[in-house]
Amino acid sequence: MKQRYDIAVIGGGGGGFAAAWTAARLGASVVLIEKADRLGGNAVRGGVHSWEAVAGATGVPQDLYDQLRPIPGAVGVSSYGRHFLWQDPDRDSDYFPGGEMVIDPTRSYADTLRRCGTRGLAHDEARCREQWHGVVFEPDAMASAMRRVLKETGRVTLKLNTAFAGVEHDDGRVRAVQLDNGRRITAGAFIDGTADGLLCLAAGCGAHIGREARSVFNEPAAPEAGDNHVNGATLIFRVTPTDRPGVEPLPDGVPAECWWRPAFPLVSMFHYPNGDRNLNMLPTMEGREWMALGYRAALAESRRRVAAYWRYLQTHYEEFQHYRMRWVAPALGVRESRRIVCEYMLTQHDLLQGLSRQKHDDIIAIADHSMDTHGNQAQRCGELAEPYGIPLRCLIPRGFTNLYVACRAAGFSSIAASSCRLTRTMMQLGQAAAAKACGVPVEALHVGTRFQA
């Protein structure tokens, strides 16, 4: 079996998948290594079966959407339904304890490509309803489509259930990676799509974790002193309609009361095309807590919290008695961990400047999601006036010439990462990293839909 490739991609989440597909379409031989049993990362195994509204999500994510569209029930575009900020709990009989997105057949993919310019949900209901639309998909259809399009290129060797175990590097170049099955892979270029930047860390790259002190990047919303706070984690679950309404029993040993905070949190819910609902506590666990517990213990504790939360929803909001639990995500939805020190670090300054004032000549992706720090209400940084650009240098670890990072561990400050961590933006990074690794000049790299004032 061939062990030498043009491009080796470690991690098959959104960024890694996009990198592998792009490189193969450009004629490169590619190996894609993924430790799980399927592609898609958080967007599939973590239950994040919805792409939020964001600018720039053309290229790979739109091509993937086009692959799903002909499949009955596989994908839909959503619009806002109810939101607690737009309701009165004392007067609205259908009061909803959070936010709800519903399938909207009047909307198209193009409607999902702009979020910026609103003042946010609390102040701008009409404009949010008009501009904020997402893409909802069935995870099995998504994972199957990802695998199929890679196979159709004839250039991708896919290794599922295979973990990265080590790296060989010298003089700023990665020479080879070792896998947990004992195999050794060599390539001309390597792309880290592991979400936590594991390949980069193993190669000795510097990394940030937690919030940087204000003195590091002089960001106005940064704390005076740095700390280890990271964005909250979540465990998503899915419910399905039932013709036998009722309240499902709690598992043994799980109390009905909320034991981890003063009150149960709000819920973010969206509808699947088949009528099921996807529910997400905001958040299930504070970032510091899941990091202190470790992944396995945090996942187990989050499962207990999901059970208690579902019981709370069913006992306090009658509509949920008409559903039963169908599925709990097998993976914890982690929004933030390490961030690799790259040739350029995207910061809050870039986000606030936007495309109209940024001076970079190597922008390869754009985004416009809010600066959104789950689990840290004191540092919610707000909506943006216009999209901003992400430079190619954010994908190049400092000191390396054939290593790229295409995941949430790219060169971002903590505040910047809270905005540009969305799956479709990560796909844009993967597309750009692969194109650069294949020798495409930066001025030719696709950067998505430019902002129209």
**Nearest one of 298, 390, 278 to 50, comparing CA atoms:** 278
Q: Let me know: does 54 contact 369? Beta carbons within 8 Å.
A: yes
| Domain match, 246 and 367 both | no
- Domain closes at, from 277, 311, 328: 328
Quick one: tokens of 152?
Answer: 């159709």
- What integer pLDDT is reported at residue 381 of this predicted model? 65
Asked whether residue 115 is domain-assigned, the answer is no
- Domain closes at, from 263, 293, 328: 328
Quick one: tokens of 449?
Answer: 């839909």
Q: Report, as an integer, the average pLDDT of 285-291.
A: 89
- What integer pLDDT is reported at residue 271 of this predicted model? 98
Phi, psi angles (nearest 5°) of residue 20: -65, -45
Whether pLDDT at 296 is above 90: yes
Question: Picking from 159-163, 180-184, 299-303, 370-374, which range would have the lowest pLDDT averaged per residue?
Answer: 370-374
Which tens digit of pLDDT belongs to each residue from 303-326? 999 999 999 999 999 999 999 999
Whether pLDDT at 282 is above 60: yes
Q: How far is CA 251 from CA 77, 149, 255, 261, in A?
A: 35, 41, 9, 20
In angstroms, the CA 305 to CA 327 distance is 14
| Domain match, 341 and 322 both | no
In angstroms, the CA 351 to CA 388 distance is 5
SS3 state of residue 349: helix
Whether pLDDT at 232 is above 90: no
**Nearest one of 409, 300, 338 to 11, comparing CA atoms:** 409
CB-based burial, 209-236: b 16+ in 10 Å, e otherwise: bbbbeeeebebebbbeebeebbbbbbbb
Asked whether residue 130 is domain-assigned, the answer is no
Asked whether residue 161 is domain-assigned, the answer is yes
* Consecutive H or E run containing 324: strand 323-328
Q: How far is CA 111 from CA 77, 114, 374, 383, in A?
A: 8, 7, 25, 18
Asked whether residue 106 is domain-assigned, the answer is no
Q: Let me know: does 271 contact 104? Beta carbons within 8 Å.
A: no
Say what percent of the chain tops pLDDT 90.
Answer: 88
Question: Picking from 145-149, 347-351, 445-449, which range would have the lowest pLDDT averaged per residue?
Answer: 445-449
- What integer pLDDT is reported at residue 453 of this predicted model? 26
| Domain match, 292 and 401 both | no
- What integer pLDDT is reported at residue 74 of this predicted model? 98
Angle in degrees, 0-180, between the axes of helices 14-25 and 60-68, rounded to the nearest 10 = 90
- What integer pLDDT is reported at residue 230 of this predicted model? 86
Q: Report, as an integer, the average pLDDT of 187-204.
A: 96
| Domain match, 399 and 437 both | yes
Whether pLDDT at 53 is above 60: yes
Asked whether residue 77 is domain-assigned, the answer is no
Average pLDDT over the chain, rounded to whole? 93
Whether pLDDT at 97 is above 70: yes
Q: Let me know: does 236 contact 332? Beta carbons within 8 Å.
A: no
pLDDT bin (cut points 50, 70, 90) of residue 21 is very high
State the amino acid at position 109 in one-letter form: Y
Say what percent of the chain tops pLDDT 70.
Answer: 96
**Nearest one of 59, 37, 56, 67 to 146, comparing CA atoms:** 67
| Domain match, 245 and 220 both | no
- What integer pLDDT is reported at residue 335 of this predicted model? 86
Which tens digit of pLDDT belongs to each residue from 245-264? 999 999 999 999 999 999 99
Q: Report, as an integer, the average pLDDT of 339-354.
A: 97
pLDDT bin (cut points 50, 70, 90) of residue 287 is confident
Quick one: tokens of 420?
Answer: 């540009």
**Number of C-beta neighbours around residue 249 at 10 A:** 9
- Pairing state between β 388-391 and 363-367: antiparallel
**Number of C-beta neighbours around residue 255 at 10 A:** 11
Whether pLDDT at 31 is above 80: yes
**Nearest one of 331, 233, 239, 345 to 289, comparing CA atoms:** 233
In angstroms, the CA 235 to CA 214 distance is 31
| Domain match, 160 and 215 both | yes
- Pairing state between β 134-137 and 75-83: antiparallel
- Domain closes at, from 278, 305, 328: 328
The residues, ordered by sequence, that sit 6+ positions from 415 with a Cβ below 8 Å of its Cβ are 211, 219, 221, 222, 347, 348, 351, 371, 373, 381
Which tens digit of pLDDT belongs to each residue from 116-140? 999 999 899 999 999 999 999 999 9
Q: Which residue carries 């509204």 as its tokens?
A: 53
In angstroms, the CA 442 to CA 395 distance is 12
* CATH code of 183's domain: 3.50.50.60
Alpha helices (H) along 26-113? 60-68
Asked whether residue 378 is domain-assigned, the answer is yes
- What integer pLDDT is reported at residue 51 of this predicted model? 97
In angstroms, the CA 427 to CA 422 distance is 9
Q: How many domains is the chain partitioned into structurally? A: 2
Is the pTM of the predicted complex or chain greater than 0.85? yes
**Nearest one of 4, 23, 52, 5 to 430, comparing CA atoms:** 23
Question: Picking from 272-276, 290-294, 341-345, 372-376, which range would have the lowest pLDDT averaged per residue?
Answer: 372-376
Q: Let me know: does 96 contact 83? Beta carbons within 8 Å.
A: yes
The residues, ordered by sequence, that sit 6+ positions from 175 with a Cβ below 8 Å of its Cβ are 168, 169, 186
- What integer pLDDT is reported at residue 449 of this predicted model? 38
Domain hosting residue 412, numbered range? 4-47+140-226+336-444
In eight-state DSSP terms, residue 84 is G
pLDDT bin (cut points 50, 70, 90) of residue 441 is confident
- What integer pLDDT is reported at residue 451 of this predicted model? 30
Whether pLDDT at 101 is above 80: yes
Whether pLDDT at 212 is above 80: yes
In angstroms, the CA 431 to CA 352 distance is 25
Asked whether residue 150 is domain-assigned, the answer is yes
| Domain match, 312 and 179 both | no
| Domain match, 282 and 390 both | no
- What integer pLDDT is reported at residue 374 of this predicted model? 54
Whether pLDDT at 444 is above 90: no
| Domain match, 155 and 267 both | no
| Domain match, 151 and 222 both | yes
SS3 state of residue 173: strand
Asked whether residue 232 is domain-assigned, the answer is no
Q: Report, as an integer, the average pLDDT of 428-441.
A: 94
Radius of gyration of the chain (CA): 21
| Domain match, 189 and 274 both | no
pLDDT bin (cut points 50, 70, 90) of residue 447 is low
Whether pLDDT at 178 is above 90: yes
Whether pLDDT at 452 is above 90: no
Q: Report, as an integer, the average pLDDT of 401-430.
A: 96
**Number of C-beta neighbours around residue 254 at 10 A:** 15
pLDDT bin (cut points 50, 70, 90) of residue 375 is very low
- What integer pLDDT is reported at residue 450 of this predicted model? 36
Whether pLDDT at 103 is above 50: yes
- What integer pLDDT is reported at residue 385 of this predicted model? 94
SS3 state of residue 367: strand
| Domain match, 149 and 31 both | yes
Quick one: tokens of 74?
Answer: 């596989």
Q: Report, as an integer, the average pLDDT of 47-53.
A: 96
